[in-house]
Amino acid sequence: MGFAPPTRREILLLCLLFVGLYVIFPPTHHEFVSVPAPAVPSAPQRRPKAPNVSVVVEEHIYETRLTWGTSEVPQTKIIAHVPGELIYYTTKSLLVFIRVGWSIIDRLYIYKGVVYIVSDEPQKIPDRAAMYSKGVDIELGAEAERARLPDDKDMRIVSTKEARALFGTGAQILDGVTYFVNDPPQFVRHYYHWAAELWFGLWRTYSSLDPSISASGNTTLPPPRRMLFNRLDAFRWRDYSTMNQWATRASFPSLTMEFLDDWDDRAHMQVPFVFERVVLADRSAAMPALNYQRYQRTAGAAFGLPGAAHWWLPIRDNVVRFAGVGSAEGAGTRGRPVITYISRQAWGRRMLVPADHERLVRALRRLEKTHGYEVNIVVPEKMTRLEQLQLAARTTILMGVHGNGLTSLLWMKPTARSTVMEFFYPGGFAHDYEWTTRALGMTHYGFWGADAFTSPNIPLPAYPEGFQGNSIPLDGEVVARLCVQRLELEEEVDEG
């Protein structure tokens, strides 16, 4: 038997039910519609802004070319050049004066491997031999000195008219600050000469632009963007102790480095380039300076420029923070002093008499027990580079036989107690670490056996037989007594 058809009443009730559901639960429509093109209003229209929201769209145009078109070629500007002392030589009828030193230069041009200074007032430009050389090895003798003097294949000083004929209508920009080093590998591959001469001198020159560097190491100077070596390749700047790269990367982690191949690339392109700003270093050009003649340190010439008392702290603090140590480590005169003796007894050259070394170690250990000083007897070759930097940052008194290990004094915190003690063969002396210590505002003592000396009563440089030998005498008790004298300064001076 089939189902009976619905009655009219049932159909009506079902229709009313559907209508009710439609009213109570309206359907939702999902449609894909095309986005119309934005209408262009005939007049500006105001659009409501969301509260407290501002959207700023800026265009950043990276300028890669300095274009002067039909205008005058922008002239080079010497921002700073160390006047130093005037060095002179005589000919039969002429007295000639030469200025020597380091330079900061804006808009220095290079083209086909030649450096160009563009100026319509060449009389105001330092002699090019005072800024630049042929970048060859340093040899002794007048003939070797003349062989290092630059010619038109190295550097030219040209007028704006000559520059237009050479460069055309523009030059490619090398922006930011460039450390430009015109030195051969001869001294670069030695940690002391890299860190305490080249790096030291570059920053001393550049920091002359900020005389307000604070005791906390703050500076307004932007970090250099690149370091350019036009006389050596990428394989010949690292030293045997692998410390050059640590000092460099820790000082400026973003610094890029260019070498001879990069220089040649630009030269072969036959396109002019212009440096926004360079700090120019040339060892040969700096050597005639009086401060070099006095101390045999090319960085000494840079001290003819003005500078802040805390000029080195931005570099020192960057390095020790890179090593994981706070920049305030080693500060003050009331904390527990740290004595670090860098031993060369396993080095095989320039070593103390073995018995004198043992007596020095016993005397220092006795200070550790009686005065509570921290004493470290270290062999750098057995330490990681990180450990060397960390210990140097904490050290109050650094001591050792004349040698590369004393370069760690660069990372000490200069205070009234900070001291470097250097042991020489009697009669021998070199300014390397003595001058660097004083340049940082610390105290240096040299030792000949039981005799100690300090500035201004220092001997002339000398390298007698035995200077490089393994029988250097030393009175360890004298060294220990001097340590106590230097470390008891807290009664007189308190730096916090």
Per-residue pLDDT in tens (0 to 9) along the chain, 496 residues:
455 666 777 666 666 666 665 555 554 443 333 333 434 444 444 444 545 545 566 666 678 999 999 999 999 999 988 754 333 333 333 333 344 568 999 999 999 999 999 999 999 898 899 999 999 999 989 999 999 999 999 999 999 999 999 999 999 999 999 999 999 999 999 999 999 999 999 999 999 999 999 999 999 999 999 999 999 999 999 998 899 999 999 999 999 999 999 999 999 999 999 999 999 999 998 888 778 788 888 888 899 889 999 999 999 999 999 999 998 888 766 789 999 999 999 888 999 999 999 999 999 999 999 999 999 999 999 999 999 999 999 999 999 999 999 999 999 999 999 999 999 999 999 999 999 999 999 999 999 999 999 999 999 999 999 999 999 999 999 999 999 999 986 444 444 4
**What pLDDT score does 45 carry?**
45
**What pLDDT score does 428 carry?**
97
**What pLDDT score does 348 carry?**
85
Tell me the whole-structure pTM to 2 decimals: 0.82
Length reported for the chain: 496
Distances (CA, A) of 30 to 19, 33, 185, 434: 22, 10, 74, 84
**What pLDDT score does 56 carry?**
61
| Sign of CA pseudo-dihedral 273, 279, 284, 285 | positive
Find where tokens 């040698």 sit. 403
| Sign of CA pseudo-dihedral 53, 54, 59, 62 | negative
Find where tokens 């930011």 sit. 176
**What pLDDT score does 414 carry?**
95
**Between the CA atoms of 394, 399, 405 and 410, what dihedral angle is there, to the nearest 10 degrees?**
50
| Other CB atoms within 10 Å distance of the CB of residue 310 | 21
**What pLDDT score does 164 carry?**
97
Contact 331, 495 (CB under 8 A): yes
**What pLDDT score does 10 carry?**
67
